Amino acid sequence: MVAQTRAGNSAPKRLAFNEKIVGKGLATDALLKKLKALHTELAELDQELVDVNSLSAVRTQLVNTSILLHKDRGVKAYAACCLADILRLYAPDAPYTHTELRDIFQFFFRQLSTGLRGAEASYYNEYFHLLESLSTVKSVVLVCDLPHAEELMVDIFRDFFGLVRRDLAKKIEIFIADILVALIDECQALPSEVLETIMAQFMANDAQPAYRLAVQVCNATADKLQRHVCQYFTDIIVAHSHESDSESNFEEIRKAHELVKQLSRSCPSLLHSVIPQLEEELRVEEVQVRLIATQALGEMFSEKGGAELVKKYPTTWNVWLMRKNDKTAAVRLKLVESAKGLLVNLHDHRETVDELMRLKLLDPDEKVRAAVCKVYSQLDYETVLHYVSEDQLRSIAGRGMDKKNSVRVEALNSLGKLYSIAYPEIENNDSAAIRHFSWIPNEILHISNSTQEARLTAEQVIADFVFPLPSSSSASTSKNVDINEVAWTDRLLNTMGYLDDRGVNAVLLLSGIKGSRPSPYELYLQSCVQHNGGVIDEDEDTVKQRLNNVIRHISRQFGDPQKAAEDLHAFARANENRSYKLLKTCLDTQTDLKGLVKASNEFLRRIESSSESILGTMTVFLRRATLRIVNQSSIPTLIKRVQRADSKHAQTLLTYISKHCPALYKPHTSELTKAIADEKNVRLVEVGMQALAAVSQSDEALAVNDKRTLERVMRYVLGSNARVAKFAARILVASKEHDDLCAEAVESIARKLSTAEPDLLVAHTAVLAQFARLAPDAFERKSDVLMAFLVKKLLMVPSPADPDEMDSDADWVEDDDVQPRLRARILALKVCRNRCLAHASTDTALEVATPVLKMLSTLLDHAGSYSADATDDPKVKSRMRLQAAISLLHLSVVDKFATAINTNFISLAITVQDPCYNVRMEFLMKLFPLLTARKLPPRYNLIPFLTVHDPEADVKNRAISYVTHASRNISATAKVDWFEIIFIRLLHLLAHHPDFSTAHENLQEMAKYIDFYLDLIASSDNVSLLYHLAMKAKTVRDGQSHTYSENLYAMSELTQELIKARAQARSWSLQSYPGKVKLPSDILRALPNPEAATKILKTVYLPEETSAWLSESSKTQKPVGTSKEKRREPREPKDSKSPPKRKASRHRANGSTKRAKTARWHSDQSESEEEPSSDDSEQDDREDTPTKLSSKHGDGSSGQESDEEEANETKGEQNRKPSRKAGTRAKVC
């Protein structure tokens, strides 16, 4: 319908153009010229001042098909511009019918979609004019009034979104957006296809122009589109949720939720009705829908606009949070995976998110727990510092002990990464960083000392994040990389500054410094070279057996021993000489840090390229085999740091190196010599002297022989600093002129000893302990004078308690508080012990040792005094009996001494049940290294089993750790000799135990010893042997008396019943033992005649009450003595004073009682002569019976690893029955 004429201005302007543009014979050029002129004139006409009647002719001609369908692009481009101007001038009414308008708009958009390219395209200005006119005049809204407008709108939206992808000018994007917004605003009903076209743009790359256009359009028309978007989303869910088994349907639902997430980022106002619908999805029964909705909402809440979303939809937020308790683990997992964004962006909801994560750390599903831990590894330093509490981080650390490996890995990796990014701030002494992160290495190191499985992960995290090798990536590609050895060493010292004693010991253990040399890893490399890829010239069986043995030993320390063994065999078969050379460089203690980094990187690259399947195993192998935490490059920095006031850990490291790997000092002897010359710095002199002594003893070529230096050393020997004097004495012994120098020193000490002041007396006695062991010839020149003084004037002199001392009931004194006189007495015992060891290989060994052994045994029998009625200070007595027990352990290393000590073995063994906690613990800590190196007779392996009643969890746990580790890491044959055959000795020891009686209650306590042993040692493979040994105990008699024989028979019957009950409970076959067992003749004797044997076998020695108890226990098929103990209350901090003695509520077959645990010195420090609890075990062990790894001995370091394993403790008070052997054992301490 033609539009009506409008009232105009009094002087309207008429169109001057009056030429025909339609007609036959009209050339294209001429037509183009006319249209151009028409367009120019129309464009200049003002809508308000034009006489529209003058436009009638051209408006009719312009819609002629000859124009609209002309083949020339220019004709159509100008015609489109003219038509747009006509519509502008006639606005708001259109001078065309609906059909004509439809043709016109189709013509417009066809021209734009085909012709509008870039600024360089033909007729670009005309297309730009057309688009601008449609945008500004809004004539395009006429489309909404046309019949079938929906189809035209669909075409327009589709064409425009296709058009905008051509990366046109920004202004064109704006024009198009205006046109599309106008269409949406004016349309009565938005076609679904149009909405689909718009929504499709959000699934594309958000950097695309079409995406930007969709965002502009949606934000401008949000009010109108809200309902349509909600309906669109609903239709998809409904349409695809009926066939729940179809994955394709869920894929469509997933895509719809992806669209919602995109809309949330760019057009959140569109989702006003959609978010509540998502909330409803969280409640549906269908798992997949719940899963998709949880993930979508989680990601939306996690983004930068999430806080606003939470504020706007609090109900949805709360319902989403409730998915933390969803019955399906996958839904809970999706919830947790969103938490990173929540922590970063929802600062106002920190407590809610923290509580969510803390709860999910305890989720029953391991994937959820692992995901929680992983979230924190993805956070940046500032977020964690300000928005994650320390308690939350400690909760993550707790998951480092999770039963599932995936959780442990994620938890420890998160902690490691956080510490790594925080370390620069910790190094700069940032108090907030120190408070928030500095504890992390300590926790990881504690975990590394727990289970075998947790240790593997913890070691990797420590290597990657806590103590990483420096500049690894760059060092692998350059020969001249400047590696900062000082910064590397300082990182170690800085980190150690925030460790507790247990953490420091773990670092020392992981450092690889301690252990036998050559190490198992070096022996493996040697075996690989000898194996030669299987081409062996001679001793083929021996070479293969040696390789198999060392691989078996090493692989036990891996999480998957079978895979590790296969990989180690594969490396040996590969037989790559270059790899061998690189590995040898890595293992060499003389390799510096730069060489280690370079060789390690090249070695792992070669493994990766040649045998990628074994890379994981060889990476762990390399990490454990090399000195990557501290090595010879650390020495100069450590020496410099010792001079500082806060040098504790530098001193600890140097002391540890001196004891266990002095070879690291070889390149630095000149620096050590300079260090001992600085006499004003006592700490530096002490460390330097110990290091020089160690390196001098390890390599004769490095012994100190400089005259000036020896003179200085002699002054130290005769000085009053006991620790320095001890090390100086070792340096003298290692020098070329040691005979004369040592004799001179002994002569001087012998003259001054009787008049020496207390501190000088301690120092002289420490020196004598060294000379007695290392320079016996010099010592013996004055031995009569020296020993007479030490025994009569020092050891035998009573030490009554100080009447003025307030803490008179205390039975232990810490190292720093030990009085010089007591130090000297303890060192005097070491002099006696070392003199015996020095003469061990001589004919006079027993003549020298007998009085010493008698004296030491007397100290044990009388609880640290030389007579039963002595009134010595309890603190002195505990120190003296501890040193006596330790001395007997070291003397037992010598066979002839061990035989002599055997008569007092029970007294020595029950030292582990001493009333004083410190005595028990130190005794065990000295016992384990000797047992691990197999320097003691097998019967000494009984001692750990006597800890079953110990009131302190850590004593028992140390024993369990040692037995478990030692029995697991020896061959089956060795296990029989060292842990199984000794079972009958355990029965004999218990029969002689001072607390033994045949009372029912007492036998119940004795049963716990047997069950403790069986828990750790018994298996289906050896139960027949153990039962056989228990039976054989009734076929012999005790070597001492008839009373003890009856005790032994009672123990035999008790043990047989316990073994039968255990076998029944575990469905073990209890068959007759087929082999022959030789019983120990030193403690057992044959019965006099068969009649006696028959009588004993027929006699029942157990009380009827005990027999009934055993029978009842057997029926329940529950091993006796393994019931869960009552939970003990946590102990409050106590001083060293013993608490008041309490009446025992029940009997205990153990003389020990629970006491306040006092801080214990480092094992590193306990080797010094002047420290009362010390023992030169490393020195003595090296000189007496050096051992190396073999198929017989195993790894000498394995026991130390087990020593560091500690389980979680639950500590409390226990009552004890007084021992009938010594009243001191009943004392609460």
Q: Residue 1228 region, left (φ>0) first, then alpha (ψ -120 to 50), else beta?
A: beta
Question: Looking at residue 808, what is its pLDDT?
Answer: 62
Residue range 946-1004, pLDDT digits in tens: 999 999 998 999 999 999 989 888 888 899 999 999 999 999 999 999 999 999 999 99
557 φ, ψ (degrees, to nearest 5): -85, 0
> Which residue stretches of 402-557 are H helix?
405-427, 431-437, 440-448, 452-461, 472-475, 485-496, 501-510, 520-531, 540-555
1223: which DSSP letter? G
Residue range 362-401, pLDDT digits in tens: 999 999 999 999 999 999 999 999 999 999 999 999 999 9
What is the distance between the alpha carbons of residues 450 and 447, in angstroms, rounded to a whole number? Answer: 5
**With bands split at pLDDT 50, 70 and 90, how would you rate the model's confidence at 248?**
low
Q: Which of 274-283, 805-814, 835-844 has the lowest mean pLDDT?
A: 805-814
**With bands split at pLDDT 50, 70 and 90, how would you rate the model's confidence at 1208?**
very low
**Cα–chain center distance at 991:** 45
The type of residue at 1099 is T
DSSP assignment of 1130-1167: PPPP--SSPPPP---SS--S-S-----------TTGGG
Q: Three-state SS string across 1022-1063, please?
A: CHHHHHHHHHHHHHEEECCCHHHHHHHHHHHHHHHHHHHHHH
Question: Looking at residue 1190, what is its pLDDT?
Answer: 34
Q: Which of 1063 and 1203 is assigned the larger pLDDT? A: 1063
What is the distance between the alpha carbons of residues 974 and 635, in angstroms, rounded to a whole number? Answer: 40
**With bands split at pLDDT 50, 70 and 90, how would you rate the model's confidence at 716?**
very high
**Taking the CB of residue 598, how many other CB atoms lie within 10 A of it?**
22
**With bands split at pLDDT 50, 70 and 90, how would you rate the model's confidence at 9?**
very low
Contact by Cβ (8 Å): 1198, 907: no
Taking alpha carbons only, the member of 402, 386, 660 closest to residue 519 is 660
Residue range 763-782, pLDDT digits in tens: 999 999 999 999 999 999 98
- Tell me the mean pLDDT in the region 640-668: 90
What is the distance between the alpha carbons of residues 170 and 759, in angstroms, rounded to a whole number? Answer: 91
Is 435's pLDDT higher than 70? yes
Residue range 735-751, pLDDT digits in tens: 888 888 999 999 999 99
The type of residue at 380 is D
1086 φ, ψ (degrees, to nearest 5): -70, 150
- Tell me the mean pLDDT in the region 164-176: 83
**With bands split at pLDDT 50, 70 and 90, how would you rate the model's confidence at 805?**
low
**With bands split at pLDDT 50, 70 and 90, how would you rate the model's confidence at 693?**
very high
**Taking the CB of residue 355, how many other CB atoms lie within 10 A of it?**
13
- Tell me the mean pLDDT in the region 1196-1219: 34
**With bands split at pLDDT 50, 70 and 90, how would you rate the model's confidence at 586?**
very high
1124: which DSSP letter? P
Is 1144's pLDDT higher than 60? no
**With bands split at pLDDT 50, 70 and 90, how would you rate the model's confidence at 1121?**
very low
781 φ, ψ (degrees, to nearest 5): -60, -30
**Taking the CB of residue 313, how many other CB atoms lie within 10 A of it?**
21
Give the range with max mean pLDDT: 468-472, 947-951, 1214-1218.
Answer: 947-951
Q: Is 843 exposed, middle or buried (0-12, 13-18, 19+ CB in 10 A)?
A: exposed
Give the range with max mean pLDDT: 222-231, 238-247, 631-640.
Answer: 631-640
Q: Which of 225 and 1175 is assigned the larger pLDDT? A: 225
What is the distance between the alpha carbons of residues 328 and 1047, in angstroms, rounded to a whole number? Answer: 61
Is 70's pLDDT higher than 90? no
What whole-number percentage of the chain has pLDDT above 90? 48
Question: Looking at residue 616, what is its pLDDT?
Answer: 92
Q: Residue 204 region, left (φ>0) first, then alpha (ψ -120 to 50), else beta?
A: beta
Taking alpha carbons only, the member of 559, 405, 1025 closest to residue 567 is 559
For 1179, how many CA atoms within 13 A lie in the half-sphere containing its CB? 28
What is the distance between the alpha carbons of residues 498 and 487, in angstroms, rounded to a whole number? Answer: 17
1085: which DSSP letter? E
**Contacting residues for 274 by C-beta, under 8 A, at least 6 apart:** 229, 230, 233, 260, 263
DSSP-based three-state secondary structure for 646: coil
- Tell me the mean pLDDT in the region 655-680: 91
Question: Looking at residue 1124, what is its pLDDT?
Answer: 38
- Tell me the mean pLDDT in the region 546-568: 91
Q: Which of 639-643, 878-882, 935-939, 1123-1127 has the lowest mean pLDDT?
A: 1123-1127
**Contacting residues for 1023 by C-beta, under 8 A, at least 6 apart:** 1059, 1062, 1063, 1068, 1070
Residue range 93-115, pLDDT digits in tens: 888 888 888 888 888 888 888 87
DSSP-based three-state secondary structure for 1014: helix
- Tell me the mean pLDDT in the region 600-616: 92
**With bands split at pLDDT 50, 70 and 90, how would you rate the model's confidence at 1115?**
confident
What is the distance between the alpha carbons of residues 357 and 346, in angstroms, rounded to a whole number? Answer: 14
Question: Looking at residue 1205, what is its pLDDT?
Answer: 35
Q: Is 1107 exposed, middle or buried (0-12, 13-18, 19+ CB in 10 A)?
A: middle
Question: Looking at residue 205, what is its pLDDT?
Answer: 65
Question: Looking at residue 347, what is its pLDDT?
Answer: 87
In sequence order, the β-bridge partners of residue 872 are 800
Question: Looking at residue 453, what is its pLDDT?
Answer: 81
What is the distance between the alpha carbons of residues 886 and 833, in angstroms, rounded to a whole number? Answer: 10
DSSP assignment of 607-622: HHHH-GGGHHHHHHHH
Query: Is the N-terminal amide bond of 1080 cis, ω within 30° of 0?
Result: no
Is 1184's pLDDT higher than 50? no
Contact by Cβ (8 Å): 296, 278: yes
**Taking the CB of residue 77, how many other CB atoms lie within 10 A of it?**
26
Q: Which of 1121 and 152 is assigned the larger pLDDT? A: 152
Q: Which of 189 and 883 is assigned the larger pLDDT? A: 883
Question: Looking at residue 1149, what is its pLDDT?
Answer: 39
What is the distance between the alpha carbons of residues 720 and 761, in angstroms, rounded to a whole number? Answer: 8
- Tell me the mean pLDDT in the region 315-326: 93
Q: Give Dmax (Cα) for the chain.
A: 152
- Tell me the mean pLDDT in the region 412-431: 95
Q: At what angle do helices 1000-1017 and 1042-1066 cross, to 10 degrees?
A: 50
DSSP assignment of 673-717: HHHHH-TT-HHHHHHHHHHHHHHHHH-GGG----HHHHHHHHHHH
Q: Which of 536 and 550 is assigned the larger pLDDT? A: 550
Is 1158's pLDDT higher than 70? no
On average, the pLDDT of the chain sits at: 83
Q: Is 1123 exposed, middle or buried (0-12, 13-18, 19+ CB in 10 A)?
A: exposed
**With bands split at pLDDT 50, 70 and 90, how would you rate the model's confidence at 1047?**
very high
Is 1195's pLDDT higher than 50? no
Question: Looking at residue 1114, what is its pLDDT?
Answer: 76
Question: Looking at residue 1166, what is its pLDDT?
Answer: 36
- Whole-structure pTM value: 0.77
Contact by Cβ (8 Å): 1156, 1139: yes
Radius of gyration of the chain (CA): 45
Q: Which of 441-445, 610-614, 650-654, 1167-1171 has the lowest mean pLDDT?
A: 1167-1171
Contact by Cβ (8 Å): 108, 59: no
Contact by Cβ (8 Å): 1179, 662: no
In the structure encoding, which two tokens stand for residue 791, read together? 């025994």
Give the range with max mean pLDDT: 261-275, 362-376, 466-480.
Answer: 362-376
Contact by Cβ (8 Å): 325, 363: no
- Tell me the mean pLDDT in the region 71-81: 88
The type of residue at 346 is L
Residue range 192-237, pLDDT digits in tens: 888 888 888 887 766 678 888 888 889 888 888 888 888 888 887 7
